[in-house]
Amino acid sequence: SNVVSIGNKYFSVGFDSKGFLSSISLEDGSEHKLSQNFFYYEGAVGDNRVFKNRSSGAYIFRPNSTERWVTDHVNVKVIKGPVVEEVHQTFNDWISQVVRIYRDYNYVEFEWLVGSIPVDDGVGKEVVSRFVSDIQSSNVFYTDSNGREMIKRVRDHRETWNLQLQEEIAGNYYPVTTNIAIEDGQRRLAIMNDRAQGGSSLQDGALELMVQRRLLHDDAFGVAEALNQSYPVRGKHFLIFGKLDGSVPSMAARERFLQAEKLLSPWLFFSDVTSFEYEDWR
Amino acid sequence: RVHLDYLSEVMGVLQHHDAITGTSKEHVTQDYTVQIYSALKACSYSAKIVLNQLTRRQTNTDKPPENEHGSARYKDEATSPEPLFTFDFDSCLLLNVSACEISETRDKFMVTVYNALAHSVFHYIRVPVDGSFEYEVTDYRSVPIPHQIISVPPQVTALHPDKAAGFELVFLATELPPIGYKSFFIVRKPARMLNTPRVLFRDIPEVVLVANNAQMSSDQPQKPPRN
C-alpha cells in the first residue's frame, strides 16, 4: 500500500498505491505527472464485403472503438541496488513489465512482456502501452521517419486536404520506427522503441504504442489468415522526459544518441574460459 | 565469404514487405525464421574462426614477419606459432529471454562487448546467471567491476523454464571504444571465497582494441577517444 519510487542522480519516478507509475521528478526538484498503463482495443469483426464491414487483421488496424483497461491494480516487486533499481509489475496473467533505472542513464527503461493474449472470450485484442503526462501538446505530436528526421503530426488533420476521419483511433496512428514525442514549449516527453510499432497521441499529453495483437479474423487484403498465434512478446520502451530550455545535453541530442545506441546496441560474445586462470587470460 | 553471402541473401529475402510487416502466411513466417537462424549460425561459425585467428595473433609473443607491404602478418596461419591459448566466441540467441547456456553453467566465462558505433559508449551489460552463486567481474586491468545480481520476473523464465536460471548479472562496461571491443572475466564462487586478496595491475595503461587493424599497443600513453 506504500508509494514507492526508484531513481538516480538525474531523476526519479514514483508509483502510486495501486502499483501504477504516477510521477517523475527531475534533478531540479520539479515533479511532473506521468502515468503508464496497458489496455487493449477490441478488433473490429465483419464479413469484409464492404468497407464498413472490414475486420481488423494483418494488414489493417481497425478497432471497434472499445478500449479496455487490463487491470485497476498492479502487483509490484521493488528491487534496489548499487547498479540498477527496478520495479517488477504484474498487470495480469499475460501482461507484466519491468520499469528500470540504471545508475548512470538519464532515461527510464520499460521492458514489457505481453502474451499469450487470451481469446477464450472470442474477442481479438490489440494491446497498447499508453503514457500520460500533463504536457499541453495541443493536438501535435512527432514521429520519426525511418529513424531519421522527426515529422510533425497533427491529430485529426492532414496537410493537403480537409480531413473527416471515419475512424478516429486508427486514422491517427502512424508508424514509429524509433521515436514518438510530444512537447509544449517547456517540456518534452519522448518514447523510443526497440522495434517498429504503431503509435499515436489520441489526447493531449498522452502517447501510446501498440505492442502486440492477436486477431481472430482475416481482413481480406490477401494474407487469407487471421493473426491468431499465441506468441508471447518481450520488448523495451525508453522514456526521456525533460525541459526544453537549458537542458544539457539538449533533449534532441539525448534522443539522438539513445537512438543510435539502441539501434546499434553492443554485441555480446560469450567464451568458456574454465581452463584459464585470470592472470593467463589477462 | 560464403557464409556472409548467405546471410546477405537471406536478409534480402526478408526485406520483402510481408516479412517486415507480418502480413505473410504463418508457414512462410516460420520459414523466414528458419532461414535467418541458419544464416546467423553460419556467420557465427565464421566469426568464431576469424576471432580465433585474431586471438592467435594477439596472444603470440613472437612478432610475425612483415610482408612486402610492410604489414605484419603470417603468410599461412597454419605455420604461425602455437597460440598461448584459444577460446571460442559464442552468441547467445536466447538473451532476449534472459537465457544463456555458457554464462549460466560455467565457473569461468568471458563476456566480450563489441561496440559497432563510431563513438565511444558506456553500456550496462545484463548476463543471465545462476542465482545460487556469487560472482566476480574483472576487466583486463584486474580492476573489479561493481555489479549486481537481480532476479528475472517469473513470467520471463516461464518462457524457457528448462534454460533460464532466473537471474541476471548487471554491470557497467565503460568506455567501449568506437568500432572496438572490451572483454570481461567473470568467475562464479561460493560466497565465502569472495574478497580474497589479489594483486592489482592498476598501472597498466588503457588498451584499446580496434577491429579494423587488430593491434594491441600498450607502450605509449593512450589518448582518450574523441567522442
Chain segment A221-250, per-residue pLDDT in tens: 888 999 998 889 999 999 999 999 877 788
pLDDT of residue A142: 97
Q: Are the Cβ atoms of B116 and A88 closer than 8 angstroms?
A: no
Of chain B, the percentage scoring pLDDT greater than 90 comes to 49
- Is the confidence at residue B202, as pLDDT, over 50? no
CB distance B167 to B196 below 8 Å? no
pLDDT value for A22: 96
Q: Out of A38-47, A273-282, B27-36, B198-207, which region has the weakest mean confidence (pLDDT)?
A: B198-207
Residue A19 scores a pLDDT above 90: yes
User: Under an 8 A CB cutoff, do A98 and B146 touch?
Assistant: no
Q: Is B176 on the interface with A (CB under 8 A)?
A: yes
H or E element: which one contains A40? strand A31-43
A vs B: CB pairs below 8 A: 145
Which are the contacts of A209, defined by CB distance < 8 A and separation ≥ 6?
A: A128, A129, A176, A180, A191, A193, A197, A198, A199, A237
| Position B211 pLDDT exceeds 50 | no
- pLDDT band at residue B209 under the 50/70/90 scheme: very low
C-alpha cell, B53 = 585467428
Pairing, β A187-193 against β A150-154: unpaired
**Considering only alpha carbons, which residue of chain B is nearest residue A102?**
B124
pLDDT at A40 over 80: yes
Optimal mutation site among B23, B145, B202, interface A, most CBs of chain A within 10 A: B23
How far is it, in rounded angstroms, from Cα A13 to Cα A4?
9
| Residue A232, C-alpha cell as written in the block | 508471447
CB A207 within 8 A of CB A182: yes
Q: Tell whether ipTM is more than 0.85.
A: yes
Are the Cβ atoms of A269 and B114 closer than 8 angstroms?
Answer: yes
Q: How far apart are CA B20 and CA A224, in angstroms?
A: 17
Region of B105 on the Ramachandran plot (φ > 0 left; ψ -120 to 50 alpha; else beta) = alpha
Q: What mean pLDDT comes out for the span A165-173? A: 93
* Pick from A223, A266, A276: CB nearest B113: A266
* Three cell numbers, residue A282: 589477462
What number is the average pLDDT over the span B45-50? 82
Residue A255 is classified by DSSP as H
Before B80, cis peptide (omega within 30)?
no
Comparison of pLDDT for A3 and A17, the residue scoring more: A17
Query: Is there a contact between B23 and A223 if contact means CB atoms under 8 Å apart?
Result: yes
**Rounded mean pLDDT of B100-118?**
95
Q: B-chain residues within 8 Å CB-CB of A96?
A: 153, 155-156
Sheet order of strands, B121-129 included = B121-129, B167-176, B147-151
Q: Taking 50 as the threshold, does the pLDDT of residue A23 lie above it?
A: yes
The identity of residue B19, as a single letter, is: A
Chain B 89-128, residues with CB within 8 Å of chain A CB atoms:
89-92, 95-97, 100, 102-103, 106-117, 121-125, 127
Q: Are B6 and B42 in contact (CB under 8 A)?
A: yes
Mean pLDDT of B126-155: 93
Query: CB A272 to CB B116 under 8 A?
Result: no
Say if residues A67 and A11 touch (Cβ distance below 8 Å).
Answer: no
Determine contact: B153 vs chain A, CB below 8 A: yes
Q: A6 is written with which cell numbers?
A: 526508484
The DSSP element (H or E) to which A7 belongs, if any, is: strand A4-7
